[in-house]
Amino acid sequence: MRGIAWLVSLLSVHAAVNRWRAPLPRPLEGSVSVLIPARDEAHRIYRLLDTLPRDCEVLVLDDESSDGTADLVRSRGFAVLAGRPLPEGWLGKPWACQQLADASSGDVLVFVDADVVLAPGAVPATVAALDGLDLVSPYPRQLAAGAARLVQPLLQWSILTFLPLSLALRSPRPSLSAANGQLMAVRRAAYERAGGHAAVRDQVVDDVALLRAVKRAGGRGGVVDGTALATTRMYSSWGELVEGYTKSLHTVPAAVPAALLALYVVPWFSRRPAARIACAAGVLGRVVTARRTASPVADSVAHPVSVVLLCGLWVRSRLVRRRTWKGRVL
């Protein structure tokens, strides 16, 4: 138990170091194309449209929507591309992103999901974050309600806790890769050198796969703090979160949930003094990341519950393995 206490404490210290050292984007002008894949997003894409810049190329791909997404986008004065039928061997989002990249003209491609809301200046700041890199992914502030508040912040917590951010950004090793496709900028030259989204055409977690492809092609990149640049509410209910996580968590190796349970849940069932240190360090690490990412700090005390829920979702993903997403076969 002493070993667990030391390890959890060190991980929490590492999260604190990342909390202070995580690179922050700086404003910069550039030749940019903002690219937005959209499939049945009329109920929320209007929020993003109201925050998009008007001084660069903006393209929205209507991916065979049935809810009037294209008409809504056109009514706001933005260009809409009609998505072509899904080819054999492709998943929907990589195909939509590849079509957008092919139709765009910018030297830098900024991919933005339809559920994101950008802050003023977010696009030039995202481009500025490239600064010697080939791909950069500012992690948006994650909004959640209800039980989803216990799980959704774990995404940013896991990056700050387990990934050496400064090293990962400059390292060419694909294994040191973390990315979030909700907001991502990539230099066109690096994108094409890596094979574009065609290189990750069948990947459910296409954002991380794209960063790995860029690194294999000699590029650099990774995650930076995007809390002040964008917000997103991926899931409006616990049911939506369960379905979303079921789609992708099965790609996570079994060793990950096993380690999380050993480090952040098992100590709560021990009366040893070292276990109390491990419990306190685990909660403290969650507090540190919550303050940096603007997540509810009070939820940090439920960190072991969050880990148990995440591991349960992993088990469900392994057992269920979603066959469809947004009406398409995975």
| CATH code (residue 98) | 3.90.550.10
The two structure tokens encoding residue 52:
């998009």
How far from chain centre, in Å, is Cα 6?
A: 29
Q: Does residue 24 register a pLDDT over 70?
A: no
Name residue 122's amino acid: A
Q: End of a domain among 198, 232, 266?
A: 232
Residues 222 and 269 in one domain: no
Confidence of residue 25 (pLDDT cuts 50, 70, 90): very low
Residues 130 and 56 in one domain: yes
Residues 113 and 262 in one domain: no
Least confident residue range of 72-76, 132-136, 204-208, 321-325: 321-325
- pLDDT at res. 11: 64
Q: Does residue 28 register a pLDDT over 50?
A: no
Residues 108 and 130 in one domain: yes
Domain residue limits at 293: 2-20+238-318
Total domain count for the chain?
2
Which DSSP helix (H) or strand (E) runs through 283?
helix 273-293
For 64-77, letters b (16+ CB in 10 Å) and e give bbeeebbebbeeee
238-242-245-249 Cα dihedral, nearest 10 degrees: 140
Q: How far apart are CA 153 and CA 147, in angstroms?
A: 11
Provide CB contacts within 8 A for 75, sequence distance 6+: none
- pLDDT at res. 84: 96
Name residue 74's amino acid: R
- pLDDT at res. 145: 86
pLDDT tens figures, 104-157: 999 999 999 999 999 999 999 999 999 889 999 999 999 988 889 999 999 889
Q: Considering the entire predicted model, what is its pTM?
A: 0.86
Q: Higher-confidence residue: 166 or 134?
A: 134
Confidence of residue 85 (pLDDT cuts 50, 70, 90): very high
Q: End of a domain among 232, 255, 273?
A: 232
pLDDT tens figures, 64-83: 999 999 999 999 999 999 99
Residues 141 and 191 in one domain: yes
pLDDT tens figures, 244-259: 899 889 888 999 999 9
Residues 14 and 40 in one domain: no
Q: Does residue 29 register a pLDDT over 50?
A: no
The two structure tokens encoding residue 164:
């050496």
Q: How far apart are CA 314 and CA 95, in angstroms?
A: 26
DSSP 1: -
Residues 222 and 306 in one domain: no
Q: End of a domain among 211, 232, 253?
A: 232
Residues 88 and 208 in one domain: yes
In a domain, 330, yes or no: no
Q: How far apart are CA 299 and CA 274, in angstroms?
A: 23
- The rounded percent of the chain whose pLDDT value lies above 70 is 88
